[in-house]
Amino acid sequence: MIAITVEEPLVLGIRQDSQTMPGPGEIMVSIRRAGICGSDIHILEGSNPFVHYPRIIGHEMAGTVAAVGTGVTDMDVGDTVVIDPVISCGNCHSCGIGRPNVCTDLEVLGVHRDGGFRSFVTVPSRNAVRVSQDLPIDVAALAEPFSIAANILSLTGCTETDSLLIYGAGPIGLTVLQVAKLKGARCIVADLDDARLEFAHEFGADETVRAEPGNVRLAVASETGGLGPTVIVDAAGEPDLLAEALQIISPAGRIGLLGFSTRPVSVVQKDIVSKEVAIHGSRLNRRLLPQVVKWLENGDLRPRAMIRETFAAEDAEAAFAKIRNTPSLTIKVQLEF
Ligand code: MN
Ligand code: ZN
């Protein structure tokens, strides 16, 4: 039994770990597959403001229920599950209006509290979603990253009448692209990296554009009869893009933001009000894993092609080095426990 930790910034560790028997309402899950996220890299690099060290990281995981606590009636030992890392209080204003992902006492597995890069993790049973035994475990472990896309597109809205511009063809941009295509929208993807734009093509982008000054504006000029994209998602986390997005978006357009920058940026109020643009911040997901699991089980998405490499958990150091050295080639790297 092992756990992958970030002991302090830039120091990855592998510890011997023990099992924590589930308390009332909890289950213990034997983790089988877990994905490494850009935010795990940020924790390793010391740039996540919510983390205290040392921390067992990991929030994209799938495994098998190994034990159930008292009062758990909807899970059995042997069930295959994916885990929603969003742990909420259930009592606050946000939880009461169905927005547990912005709970005032939010705790995210692998961020605020120890996560899932470990042989066994114990979590509230309501954070587990049962998946078909037929769903490959590596695909199951992609449910959480796809939930990021499901969340932002549920906030902005996305239908077959929409024309999307997605900034960023990294792992998050590619999940947003796939979910938007599933909903029938037309999608343009902008990125500075040619290899990533190639991936965007593979995953169904109708058009790709190198995000150099002026290029994006030109590429979207003909969208919806010259009005511009109806939805813009910033999956690059670049706050300066907001000013451009406000200028090129259609009237009544919706903008979704995922980044956590603390750097102030200038935007023009008139750009927002004259077109009645809605700006949505999107954090994690609001209990959308069941929906994502349905998509994965139905074969509606193309998750397999996202997984570029799988390492044994013991080789986590090599897995992280690979991502940090060649970020534009590794869409998703997973660890096998
Ligand atoms: Mn993630
Ligand atoms: Zn709450």
Q: Do residues 148 and 177 lie in contact, with contact meaning Cβ atoms separated by under 8 Å?
A: no
pLDDT > 90? residue 225: no
Domain ranges, ordered by start, for the chain: 2-142+303-336, 149-281
CA of 180 to the centre of ligand 2 (A): 29
Nearest to 200 by CA among 223, 173, 218, 221: 173
Mean pLDDT (whole number) for 220-224 = 89
pLDDT > 90? residue 208: yes
Averaged pLDDT of the chain: 96
pLDDT digits (tens, 9 = 90+) for 157-204: 999 999 999 999 999 999 999 999 999 999 999 999 999 999 999 999
Question: pLDDT category, 56, cuts 50, 70, 90?
Answer: very high
CA of 284 to the centre of ligand 2 (A): 14
Q: What is the pTM of this model?
A: 0.96
Nearest to 179 by CA among 146, 135, 228, 223: 146
Domain 149-281 class?
alpha beta
pLDDT digits (tens, 9 = 90+) for 99-125: 999 999 999 999 999 999 999 999 999
Topology classification of domain 2-142+303-336: Quinone Oxidoreductase; Chain A, domain 1 (3.90.180)
CA of 112 to the centre of ligand 2 (A): 15
Which ligand number lies closest to the CA of residue 42? 1
CA of 102 to the centre of ligand 2 (A): 7
